[in-house]
Amino acid sequence: MRAVKAKKFLGQHFLTDLGIAQRIADTVDACPDLPVLEVGPGMGVMTQFLIRKPRLLKVVEIDYESVEYLRKTYPDLEEHIIEDDFLKMHLDHTFDGQPFVLTGNYPYNISSQIFFKMLDYRDLIPCCTGMIQKEVAERLVAQPGTKAYGILTVLVQAWYSVEYLFTVEPSVFNPPPKVRSAVVRMTRNSTTDLGCDTSLFRRVVKTTFNLRRKTLRNNLRPLLSELDAAQGCTRDHSAFLSNPIFDLRPERLSVQQFVDLTNAVQAECLDKQ
């Protein structure tokens, strides 16, 4: 069967190096005994190694050409090929409510969205591995005070321990991307409760990084006003915002400090009668 043509609008770059494909597939071994969901298998360069492992494998692919290729090349996988958009799937039905490992050579244009979805299903996904753009990988492992530290960093590190495993050069893809790639593994940490309202936590993190060159004070003012408006009131937050911590920019705060900030915002705006 002829090869599938990579589609730019789907962010497809097919890995051609079998050695690297096997190395990526083997990253799921850190979470043994769990079924595996591979996102965007394309022509199955990773699938051929995943399918040999003694565990249930399902693949989700949106490209009809790739689905047809997989059906003909891997007939034993037929019943486990999901022709769908991963970002629109209800993952709690994928393995009948069982936890599973998420993996793949993720499309660059939606990798961050994939990880945000992973966070929504964090109780079902104890381990996530795969290949992404190197820049995104660097964001995932970034530390406070660095340029790469941002929204994705804080939200993922709140729930997962992240490992940068290895770098992959453009030359092993068809077509070659214009950037380098990296393979990462994210494993659920021991956190079961952040100690704050998780919805507000996400909102605080996203709001403070909206204009990352501005201070927390400037970035939080609109959020405080929105929370007041939702309660039908107007408050003076000048005393609250006078705390020296609000002189900082968001990239200076650790995950725990964002938790503390979320609780402070809750007490300032939502717990007052």
Nearest to 220 by CA among 209, 234, 231, 230: 209
- Render pLDDT for 242-267 as a digit per residue (tens, 0 to 9): 999 999 999 999 999 999 999 999 99
Helix (H, G, I), strand (E, B) or coil at 119: helix
**Per-residue pLDDT at 10:** 54
Question: Where, residue-wise, is CATH 3.40.50.150 in the chain?
Answer: 8-188
DSSP 189-225: -S-S--SS-HHHHHHHHHHHTTTTTS-HHHHHHHHHH
Partners of 168 in beta bridges: 181
The conformation of residue 251, written as its DSSP 8-state character, comes to G
Query: How many angstroms separate the first and last alpha carbons of the chain?
Result: 68
- Render pLDDT for 186-196 as a digit per residue (tens, 0 to 9): 999 999 999 99
Nearest to 46 by CA among 15, 77, 82: 15
- Say which CATH superfamily domain 198-270 falls into: rRNA adenine dimethylase, C-terminal domain (1.10.8.100)
- Render pLDDT for 3-50 as a digit per residue (tens, 0 to 9): 666 556 555 577 899 999 999 999 999 999 999 999 999 899 999 999
What six digits make up the tokens of 258?
């964002």
| CA–CA dist 218, 221 (Å, integer) | 6
What six digits make up the tokens of 155?
């939200």
- Render pLDDT for 139-184 as a digit per residue (tens, 0 to 9): 999 999 999 999 999 999 999 999 999 999 999 988 788 899 999 9
- Say which CATH superfamily domain 8-188 falls into: Vaccinia Virus protein VP39 (3.40.50.150)
Q: Which residues contact 73 (CB under 8 A, 6 or more apart)?
A: 1, 43, 44
| CA–CA dist 11, 269 (Å, integer) | 42
Instruction: Match 């209800």 to its residue by tokens.
Output: 90
Question: Where, residue-wise, is CATH 1.10.8.100 in the chain?
Answer: 198-270
What six digits make up the tokens of 221?
């003012």
> Please, how many CA atoms are within 13 Å of residue 84, restricted to the half-sphere of its CB?
15
